[in-house]
Amino acid sequence: MDFLDTIIQKKLGKALSREQIEDFAAAAARASVPDYQLSALLMAIRLNGMDARETADLTMAMAHSGEMLDPDVDGVPVDKHSTGGVGDTTTLVLAPLVAACGGKVLKMSGRGLGHTGGTIDKLESIPGFMTSLPKERFVDIVRRIGCAVVGQSAELAPADKRLYALRDVTGTVDSIPLIAASILSKKFASGAHAIVLDVKYGSGAIMDTLEGSVELARTMVDIGTLAGRDVTAVLSNMEEPLGTHIGNALEVKEAIDVLSGRTKGDLLTVSMFLGAHMLTASHVCADLTTAKDRLKAALLSGAGLERLKMMISAQGGDPRVADDTSLLPQAPVITPLLAETSGYVTYMDTQALGYAAQAMGAGRRVKEDVIDPSVGFVLKVRLGDRIEKGSVLAELHARDAESARRAGDGIMKALTITDKPSERQPLIYAVVTRNGIEYKPEL
């Protein structure tokens, strides 16, 4: 097939055939077409879009561009994916909780290129924890324990790996068909039969508008329906960091604090909500009420924390961190950031808060950067809080005094403090399933 004809067809706004789309994915996986032609087609897709059938075809073609796993985990393999955010540590909370309730959480994650590390980077801050495992051992851990989290295999969805890199340098990252195909192709290839998506909206989200986030959620649910997979999308608020801890070891600590019952708040609320949908999607529980009750019982009994210990141990890590978080990497400089004025916290530039952590060494600017797992900060205020001059806004965990000072400046600029309070947006805006959209669901 002439690839130039495919580019021209999409440039003119016409739909591509399944054969053309399969040729596109194969060309990306095998590097049989130069980058400039792939980039041209990516831009044509970004400008003219794809219909539901095209997007589903692209997703499946990218999934089938490499190895397709169909693991026997003695249950329905379920996965959760977040479209990104700051302080979003839900995987480390909900995976062991869902496993403690009988779910089978089979999760392959990537490394972060942005504010802080990805889930893999966070887990690697646990001494000895291995995120690269043979496929057989990975599946065996899920079968025995109920959850495992490993790095994305190079054999899975190789077309996505090349196209993702090109999207990053061609201004086509914000294409809904390309985002949806990228996310779901990896989930389908890794063997997940039930998938719960956490689609963010707000100042720290991938989409600029709430409408864009809703469209992305609906697109991914539609692809799941066409592909015969059970996909649910939850739209959650990223107007402020989900958790209070931003940084790799710090986020592991917060997840442990949540599972131990020491900490509550938005991170726990969203984790329980997503976990309930994972249990129903994988047919462990018949309804959300039953699922929520099971999760609460696993939290209160300590079964979720115990399951986290089991996963850490099975993957070579030191399970003692779950009882003593001081065994996690510790930053040499810990200092408070004090408020310079009194008032109400009415706005947070969540993305800017993430970049403040990145500048400390908690994230990567380029893929070659080495993450410092110990650094980051603990945010002491939430939207709507009344603060007084001299009160603590954040606790900075830094390499040295200078990086702490720079991070403090960045955090100060990211917070808006005014004389009057403002109304908060709902934590969960909507749930999208194949049956439609439920707005502002009961938590």
Annotated active-site residue 39? The verdict is no
Residue 87 sits in the same domain as residue 222:
yes
The two three-digit tokens of residue 393, written as one number: 């806004």
> Is residue 72 domain-resident?
no
Amino acid sitting at position 246: I
Amino acid sitting at position 109: S
Domain boundary residue, one of 13, 31, 63: 63
Residue 367 sits in the same domain as residue 431:
no
pLDDT for 399: 96
Annotated active-site residue 186? The verdict is yes
Please provide the distance, in angstroms rounded to a whole number, between the alpha carbons at the two ends of the chain.
51
What pLDDT digit, counting tens, does each position of 366-385 carry? Answer: 667 788 999 999 999 999 99
The structural domain count of the chain equals: 3
Of the candidates 186, 193, 294, 397, the residue annotated as catalytic is 186
> Is residue 45 domain-resident?
yes
> Is residue 107 domain-resident?
yes
Residue 319 sits in the same domain as residue 335:
no
User: Which CATH number goes with the domain that contains 107?
Assistant: 3.40.1030.10
Annotated active-site residue 193? The verdict is no
pLDDT for 1: 67
pLDDT for 154: 79
Residue 208 sits in the same domain as residue 165:
yes
Of the candidates 109, 153, 182, 190, the residue annotated as catalytic is 182
pLDDT for 115: 59
User: Which CATH number goes with the domain that contains 36?
Assistant: 1.20.970.10
Annotated active-site residue 64? The verdict is no
> Is residue 443 domain-resident?
no
Residue 258 sits in the same domain as residue 398:
no
Of the candidates 46, 80, 81, 307, the residue annotated as catalytic is 81
Of the candidates 160, 198, 257, 266, the residue annotated as catalytic is 160
Residue 15 sits in the same domain as residue 57:
yes
Annotated active-site residue 57? The verdict is no
pLDDT for 169: 84
pLDDT for 367: 64
> Is residue 71 domain-resident?
no
Residue 46 sits in the same domain as residue 149:
no
Helix (H, G, I), strand (E, B) or coil at 303: helix
Long-range contacts, 223-228 (Cβ 8 Å, 24+): 223/52, 223/55, 223/56, 223/59, 223/180, 223/181, 223/184, 224/184, 224/195, 224/434, 225/434, 226/52, 226/53, 226/56, 227/56, 227/59, 227/60, 227/184, 227/188
> Is residue 87 domain-resident?
yes
Residue 224 sits in the same domain as residue 310:
yes
Give the integer Cα–Cα distance in Å for 218 and 76.
23
Residue 254 sits in the same domain as residue 128:
yes
Give the residue ranges of the chain where pLDDT is below 50. Answer: 113
Residue 270 sits in the same domain as residue 354:
no
Of the candidates 64, 161, 167, 294, the residue annotated as catalytic is 167
Residue 408 belongs to domain spanning: 330-418
